[in-house]
Homo-oligomer: A and B are copies of this chain.
Amino acid sequence: MGRTRIFDERDAARAALDVFWDRGFEATAVPDLEGATGLSRSSIYHSFGSKRGLFDAAVDTYLSEVVRPRLAPLQADTVASDALVEYMRGLRHVMADGTRHLATHGCLLLNTATSPVGIDDTLREIVRNYRRELTHAITRGVEAAHPEFRAERTARLGTTCSAHVIAAMTLARVDTEGAIALLDNAIQLIVDPNEISETGRTTA
């Protein structure tokens, strides 16, 4: 009894994500969102309530379509022993390729939450969890890649690796060269955690 829905809110959120990712929350104006989603201002406010509501929807999209899939292999029940290296090499490839949003704009969550106007605490909380999950997932990857390591060393390498990822994501938008260097270094650290002994080459 009434007109059926024409547009899909998920599509709208996806479109909005591009703009928010590009310009950030504050710098994105509602007219920008109208253009990107193809929706009228009225429809946006009807469906999402506010600019912030649409942003939240975009963040959900980002989490479920960008973050989770990439991290999934490290969170599987059984982690393949080279999953971590693949993950890091994947990131490095995306970064060096430079065509993807992740390379040109970094991580939406880090960008937004660490920007001086962090919007609010729920977003900060998301970033905290994000960091913990990232570190934990990577540590599991290290564990799979180096089962011979003691727990302590595994944990340390895991933290180190996640630090590199965070730093690389932070620098992506400003200093691509630096971001790639960081990822390279991280990969090296995983592949050969101690390939260089004090005296000379390799023990592996």
Contacts and interface: CB of A to CB of B under 8 A. Distances in A.
A198 interface: yes
A39 interface: no
A23 interface: yes
A189 B177 CA distance: 24
Interface residues of A, number: 52
Contact of A174 (B22, B124, B175, B189): B124
13 contacts: A24-B115, A26-B26, A113-B174, A115-B115, A116-B173, A118-B174, A127-B174, A127-B175, A132-B178, A160-B189, A163-B182, A163-B185, A194-B194
Interface of A: 22-27, 105-106, 110-118, 124, 127-128, 131-132, 148-150, 152-153, 156, 159-160, 163-164, 166-168, 170-171, 173-175, 177-178, 181-182, 185-186, 188-189, 194, 196, 198, 200
